[in-house]
Amino acid sequence: MTSIPSNILSSGPSQGYPPESESLSMQSTRQSPSKVLVVEPHPTLRTVLVQRLRQDGHLTAAVGSPTEAIDLCRDQTPDLLVSAELLDKCSALRLAQQLGCPVIVLTARSAVESLVALFDEGADDVLRKPFGLEELAARCRTLLKRGRIGLQERVAVGPLEVHLLLRQVTLSEKPVELSPREFALLCALLMPPGMVRSRQELLRMAWPPFSGGPRSVDTQVLTLRRKLEQAGLGEGGGITTVRQQGYRFSLDTLPG
């Protein structure tokens, strides 16, 4: 990625990323601050969100439209997008796909069905308006920590390849279709492969905060196994159950 824009607009419709040295002074223990992009049409809320996230040491930029977001990110990809659900001729989920980054969707909808639909469509987290700034900051920290578990672009285990940035899985160079939740679960099991992950660990790594439970993990593991089996990865899809501990992606079940 190229250098970060150095302009800081104290007011106005948008705010660019601050200089990296400024964020490093606020959080000296982090070698490379995370880049967070806020897309919010309301200028006051936009400014408040930027100010709060910069307190955590993030390189935070803010714009009011998807067009401005795409222009700002032509030379670099943010580590996290925080966006209003509905934008001019676009949606937060579509914008996140274009930018190739995880997204926290800010929505005014309160119906459980609507929130579940956003998760099913690929949202990494959903926050209902009105919300507290500290809650947003905590959710950002959680997603950014999860994303830094594996900074490599690709994980290969035998014939299985997981393309982290493209969010694609291939087996012997053939695509394997997974849902967003199944993809996140597979990534958690592969980082690193062979490690036993408890259900609670998998919930923290592959589910949004305060959502899902042990049964959700079991259900998703079952569907992931079936899809990997059907793709030709062998019985159990390489995922073994470790009694009273959790699940493990077992290398010895992979075909030679």
**103 within 8 A of 78, measured Cβ to Cβ:** no
Residues 151-209: tens digit of each pLDDT: 445 778 888 888 765 678 999 889 999 988 888 888 888 877 788 888 888 887 777 65
Mean pLDDT for the chain overall:
78
Residues 100-137: tens digit of each pLDDT: 889 999 998 888 888 888 888 888 888 888 888 888 98
Counting every residue, how long is the chain? 256
The full set of domain ranges for the chain reads: 20-147, 154-253
Closest CA to 35 of 54, 63, 55: 54
Mean pLDDT in residue range 12-25:
47
CA dihedral 166, 172, 177, 180 (to 10 degrees): -40
pTM over 0.85, yes/no: no
Counts for the chain of helices (H) and strands (E), in that order: 9, 13
Closest CA to 221 of 168, 179, 176, 185: 185
Closest CA to 150 of 166, 170, 165, 168: 165
Can you tell me whether residue 249 is helix, strand or coil? strand
Can you tell me whether residue 132 is helix, strand or coil? coil
Share of the chain above pLDDT 90, in %: 18
User: Which has the minimum average pLDDT: 25-29, 51-55, 193-197, 209-213?
Assistant: 25-29
CATH code of the domain occupying 154-253: 1.10.10.10
Distance CA 142, CA 165 (A): 18
Closest CA to 237 of 164, 191, 173, 169: 169
Superfamily per CATH, domain 20-147:
Response regulator (3.40.50.2300)
